[in-house]
Chains A and B, each alone.
Chain A
Amino acid sequence: MSSNNPIIEPVHSENGAKAALGERTRILVCEGTGCVSSKSPEIRMELEKTIDELGLGDKVEVGFTGCHGFCQKGPIVVVEPEGIFYCRVKPRDAKEIAQAHLASGKPVKRLFYRHPVTKEVVPYYRDIMFYKKQQRVILRNCGKINPEKIWDYEAHGGYQALRKVVETMTPGQVVEEIRRSGLRGRGGAGFSTGVKWDICRKQPGDTKYVICNADEGDPGAFMDRSILEADPHTVIEGLIILGFAIGAPHGFIYCRAEYPLAVRRVRIALNQAREKGYLGKSILGSDFDFDVEVFEGAGAFVCGEETALLSSIEGARGMPRSRPPFPAEKGLWGKPTVINNVKTLASVPVIINQGADWFASIGTETSKGTAVFALTGKIANSGLVEVPMGAPLSTIIYDIGGGIPNKKAFKAVQTGGPSGGCLPGTKLELPIDFDSLQQAGSMMGSGGLVVMDQDTCIVDVARFFLSFTQSESCGKCVPCRVGTRHMVDLLDKIATGKGTDEDLDLLEKLAHMVKQGSLCGLGQTAPNPVLTALRYFRSEFTAHVTDKRCPAAVCRELVTFRIIPDRCTGCQSCVRVCPTGAITGPRSQAHNLNQEKCIKCRSCYEVCRFDAVAGEAIIIVS
């Protein structure tokens, strides 16, 4: 992942590019963070080299795109206009692809996508079930355009919405269109975007601010990262339109520090947009001035909360404030401010172009449009999934996600990150929308969907999420600061087999108190994982408390590791990795595991499953 200074490419090559789009074969290498970590830029360089050597430069153009949202299968290389999709490509494969496919017309079959459970081989992008069942509106350009070339965005309809707004609409009309579309904030709370814009537009004063909240802190969520890396202009366009709608001359994109590639691509995009007159003074010849500044987060989950974000920009500790007054009335430096999530802003150009009625025709009565989810965990196809609101969870998990791998059983799906909850199998037909999820005790949140199988311990998951929110608590209010601390301590007790029934009752009482008493969304939602876990998986808690057992064999103090003599080939792999020398035994004979020395670190279990000659000779029991 390079962090060079952004190189500003000249933007006058669009005519050449448009011709190229139509006539030549294009081979596009994904350069999102995931694929870059697996050396995708080297793939591109090797392709360029080989194509040069083969003299194919006139027929084939090599380019790159941002994240396709299917990082698990990366590095991804796509050949257009055929639509061939290559997975897990390595730099050394580039030569073969160039020679066999590009030069001789024979695609490289071993690099095609293969469904992890059904084993079906699918050569074409459009046929891959993961993508086929999605409706990619917000993600429309991700993986299709070069994020560092503004003319590619324009060639795909980019900045037409801005033109329409500036040339033919009034701010009031823009707000009305967004309100009619039914768009609700995609940051998690789901507040009506149009209403928020309207409140701010009506505030008196000329100094107003607009902010794009790209502080995607939910662990397990990477939608905003992908969008900013793959299609930054759509977010910028949305932000400019927002600025126009409420009368703000200045905007910020607050992006977290952990996303350096996204920050880099946004800066490049902003510079290109300025060159083209989409930003700056007299945008597209109107009397609308607007510019955007990038502000990098410094590593605080709470800064995703809008008032904490404001404090952060103002140069203070990222601590939330009580509301009312809401930022739309009194925000940054006391001025009216609208803060919107990346996905919300990415929806704006589409709504303006296609119309509010079109957008409102997708989704449910109260949740319009599409929603983007990061589907991760124990799932065959892990990645970014966009579906209409109201699609059942089962479609996402089984049709698109491909189900649970390794023949394991589904146990739960965590929605909404640390603010959400674990839903059991009985909730699989639940439609994914703001209200259904809330009624079930969880929430949409920013869109994380973590799938868990029989090997996941719900008590451990609840403890994990609480530890996270506890450490990220800003400390301002007592219910959150002290309450979450006590909840974590209780969960530690339960997970280590020292919990009592009284502890469970206290845990539940505390959870309700923290929820009701906390100042901001972090504290108010931190107890959700615990409350849903108690609601749907109480038996696991009682197993830990009463039987001192961990049914999923995860919680260390409650499990024992054993070697199965019949399956052990004596390969010594585990002997080598054991940090305390608890495993002994000569070659080719079943090994011994000394329980007293065992610290339950799982090293032997993992080595036996991945590397060892026998495999699965070590089991964990509770």
Chain B
Amino acid sequence: MAVQSSPAVLDKTRARRKDLVPLLQKVQETELYLSHESIKLISRELKVSESEIYGVATFYAQFRFRPPGKYNIKVCLGTACHVGGGQNFIEVMKIAKNLSHGETTPDRQFSLERVACLGCCALAPVVVVNKEVHGRMNRVTFMKLLDSLDSSNKSEESSQAPESPA
């Protein structure tokens, strides 16, 4: 027969544990990925083991464990985007940048993520570069977008945010 812990103790543990996912999200918002150091810190603060935290973090697609590229490209693979040809962008990234899902180029300029659905289905197919949404893309406009990111890389001298083509 299990021992009934007092509700106050349970509440405290629950409150700490409830903060885990939001905390991981806050860390990734600031640092762009979850480093081992940050997981260690969270582990100490919340009194949850590192393996448990990794167990939770790896479940969710949002969390990255490696730094993203300067241009983090999310390709939407929802139904409307698939029917609209979204898979082509994954292919272009493979051919043009040798990237698969979850990878970053060695020069850290580009990284690729597949996303389930961004909710912009009426603008399918959709691609997101960092936080900018690009709708109604096709293979040709996507390649032009990549080219413009490449050339804005080469021409910029200070670290400004990139301009996206209209």
Interface: A65 (CB within 8 A):
no
A475 to B14, CA, bound (A): 24
Residue of B nearest to A382 (CB): B122
1/0 contact trace for B2-29 toward A, CB 8 Å? 0000000010001001111110110000
Closest CB-CB distance, A498 to chain B, in whole Å?
A: 20
| Residues of the B chain whose Cβ atoms lie less than 8 Å from the Cβ of A317 | 55-56, 59
| Residues of the B chain whose Cβ atoms lie less than 8 Å from the Cβ of A221 | 117, 119, 121
Interface: B35 (CB within 8 A):
no
Interchain CB contact (< 8 A) of A298 among B60, B79, B143: B60
Known: A315-B56, A376-B124. A602 touches B85 (CB 8 A): yes
Known: A456-B83, A610-B138. A220 touches B91 (CB 8 A): no
1/0 contact trace for A245-262 toward B, CB 8 Å? 000000000000111100
A194 to B77, CA, bound (A): 36
Interchain CB contact (< 8 A) of B22 among A219, A220, A296, A314: A296
Known: A1-B132, A219-B116, A299-B116. A314 touches B62 (CB 8 A): no
Known: A39-B166, A610-B140. A222 touches B131 (CB 8 A): no
Known: A1-B131, A299-B61. A468 touches B116 (CB 8 A): yes
| Residues of the A chain whose Cβ atoms lie less than 8 Å from the Cβ of B135 | 34, 37-38, 71
A127 to B80, CA, bound (A): 27
- A220 lies within 8 A of B79 (CB): yes
| Residues of the B chain whose Cβ atoms lie less than 8 Å from the Cβ of A296 | 22, 25
Closest CB-CB distance, B148 to chain A, in whole Å?
A: 16
1/0 contact trace for B102-136 toward A, CB 8 Å? 00000000000001111111111010000111110
Interchain CB contact (< 8 A) of A448 among B60, B79, B131, B138: B79
Interchain CB contact (< 8 A) of B120 among A33, A312, A456: A33
Closest CB-CB distance, A448 to chain B, in whole Å?
A: 7
Q: Assign chain A's interface to a size class.
A: 35 or more
Interchain CB contact (< 8 A) of B79 among A225, A259, A464, A611: A464
Interchain CB contact (< 8 A) of A315 among B10, B19, B132: B19
A-B contacts, CB under 8 A, total: 166
Known: A333-B14, A378-B83. A607 touches B140 (CB 8 A): yes
| Residues of the A chain whose Cβ atoms lie less than 8 Å from the Cβ of B132 | 1, 37
A90 to B140, CA, bound (A): 22
- A450 lies within 8 A of B79 (CB): yes
1/0 contact trace for B49-68 toward A, CB 8 Å? 00000011001111100000
Residue of B nearest to A448 (CB): B79
Q: Give the one of B62, B79, B83, B134 with max A CB within 10 A.
A: B79
| Residues of the A chain whose Cβ atoms lie less than 8 Å from the Cβ of B79 | 219-220, 376-377, 414, 417-418, 448, 450, 464-465
- A606 lies within 8 A of B139 (CB): yes
1/0 contact trace for A287-299 toward B, CB 8 Å? 0000000011111
How many chain B residues have a CB neighbour from A under 8 Å? Answer: 49
Interface: B1 (CB within 8 A):
no
Known: A318-B59, A606-B140. A3 touches B80 (CB 8 A): no
- B62 lies within 8 A of A299 (CB): yes
Interface: A551 (CB within 8 A):
no
| Residues of the B chain whose Cβ atoms lie less than 8 Å from the Cβ of A225 | 119
| Residues of the A chain whose Cβ atoms lie less than 8 Å from the Cβ of B80 | 219-220, 376-377, 382, 450
A376 to B118, CA, bound (A): 14
A414 to B121, CA, bound (A): 14
* A245-289 residues at the B interface, CB under 8 angstroms: 257-260
- B131 lies within 8 A of A601 (CB): no
- B62 lies within 8 A of A577 (CB): no
A217 to B77, CA, bound (A): 12
Known: A37-B134, A315-B17. A450 touches B83 (CB 8 A): yes
| Residues of the A chain whose Cβ atoms lie less than 8 Å from the Cβ of B121 | 71, 219-222, 374, 376, 382, 448
Known: A298-B25, A312-B21, A314-B18. A258 touches B117 (CB 8 A): yes
Interface: B82 (CB within 8 A):
yes
Q: Give the one of B62, B63, B88 with max A CB within 10 A.
A: B62
Interface: B161 (CB within 8 A):
no
Q: Give the one of A70, A90, A313 with max B CB within 10 A.
A: A313
Q: Give the one of A376, A464, A474 with max B CB within 10 A.
A: A376
| Residues of the A chain whose Cβ atoms lie less than 8 Å from the Cβ of B18 | 313-315
Closest CB-CB distance, B98 to chain A, in whole Å?
A: 12
| Residues of the B chain whose Cβ atoms lie less than 8 Å from the Cβ of A448 | 79, 121
- B143 lies within 8 A of A601 (CB): no
Interchain CB contact (< 8 A) of B117 among A33, A217, A382, A579: A217
Interface: A316 (CB within 8 A):
yes
| Residues of the B chain whose Cβ atoms lie less than 8 Å from the Cβ of A36 | 133
| Residues of the A chain whose Cβ atoms lie less than 8 Å from the Cβ of B115 | 258, 299
Interface: A399 (CB within 8 A):
no
Closest CB-CB distance, B140 to chain A, in whole Å?
A: 6
Besides the contacts A3-B131, A602-B88, what 19 more A-B pairs have beta carbons closer than 8 Å? A34-B123, A37-B133, A37-B135, A220-B78, A220-B79, A222-B122, A257-B25, A258-B117, A296-B22, A298-B24, A298-B62, A299-B60, A299-B62, A315-B17, A317-B55, A450-B79, A474-B59, A601-B88, A606-B88
Q: Which residues of A contact B (CB under 8 A)?
A: 1, 3, 33-34, 36-39, 70-72, 74, 90, 216-222, 225, 257-260, 295-301, 312-318, 333, 374, 376-378, 382-383, 414, 417-418, 448, 450, 452, 456, 461, 464-465, 468, 472, 474, 577, 579, 601-603, 606-607, 610-611
11 A-B residue pairs with Cβ-Cβ distance under 8 Å, sorted by A, are A34-B120, A37-B123, A221-B121, A258-B115, A295-B22, A298-B25, A313-B18, A333-B10, A376-B80, A418-B79, A456-B83
The 6 A-B pairs at the shortest CB distance, nearest first, are namely: A219-B78, A37-B133, A299-B61, A298-B60, A299-B62, A220-B79
Q: Which residues of B contact A (CB under 8 A)?
A: 10, 14, 17-22, 24-25, 55-56, 59-63, 77-83, 85, 88, 91, 95, 115-124, 126, 131-135, 138-140, 143, 166
